[in-house]
Amino acid sequence: MKQDIRFLREKQEEIARRVDLHNALPSFEELQTVGAADLSCSRFSKMGYAAVVVMSYPNLELIERAWAAELLTFPYIPGYLAFREWPLVKICLERLKTLPQVLVCDGQGIAHPRRAGLASQIGVESGLITVGCAKSRLVGECSKPGFKRGDKSDLMMNGDKIGEVVRTRNNVKPLYISPGHQIDFEHSTQMILHLCRQCRQPEPIRETHRFVNEIRKREMASL
């Protein structure tokens, strides 16, 4: 197992070296499509379900969605969950007719012990622009942002900035936003704020979460 962990760590270190934090996102006036990826599992089953949705921008109308289900053979190891989730997300991306210009992931980007969270791995492996948007902090130190929408503080690790803690609605818990690939801190946060319309989380993530759980419940009921 130690050898396996060493291999996974080396793979993540390689991914981190390939992450590009230069912004490749078009201007928001030119942006036409956004997407999100999410994975759902049941404590009573080893089946994993993933979904990716593509929505128009700025109207956030559903364009396309894809899902995949497979037996999860990779164990649950904190810090290495991208290896468990990426294969299923990859299948979803391959089933889409329209790839999003930017993909938001319900997880971390470079705000990760080895700076290679799910959003970074998906971005490097797929070539997509990706943003990590997590509900909780995995690593790093930060101060609390103000209580108004758009208030933010830096998330730091070992003296380096790895993300931003952002209030997406007044007086609600902040989100932990970090670049995944081909995007910088400023545009990552702007992207999430643009996608948070009425709720704490971005609309594409909410739609993907709803869809993948719907699929999981339907498929499990048919077994």
Q: Domain range for residue 57?
A: 2-221
Domain count, the chain: 1
Instruction: State how far the Cα of 53 lies from the Cα of 64, in Å rounded to an integer.
Output: 6
Confidence of residue 76 (pLDDT cuts 50, 70, 90): confident
Instruction: State how far the Cα of 38 lies from the Cα of 199, in Å rounded to an integer.
Output: 17
Q: Write down the mean pLDDT value for the chain.
A: 94
| Per-residue model confidence as pLDDT tens digits over 87-115 | 999 999 999 999 999 999 999 999 999 99
Check pLDDT > 80 for residue 17. Answer: yes
Does this model's pTM top 0.75?
Answer: yes
Provide the Cα torsion 98, 52, 12, 159; round to 10°: 100
Cis peptide before 58 (omega within 30 of 0): yes
Give the Å distances, CA to CA, from 193 to 7, 34, 49, 169. 37, 13, 27, 9
| Per-residue model confidence as pLDDT tens digits over 187-221 | 999 999 999 999 999 999 999 999 999 999 998 88
| CATH number of residue 131's parent domain | 3.30.2170.10
End-to-end CA gap in the chain: 33
Confidence of residue 75 (pLDDT cuts 50, 70, 90): confident
Check pLDDT > 70 for residue 223. Answer: no
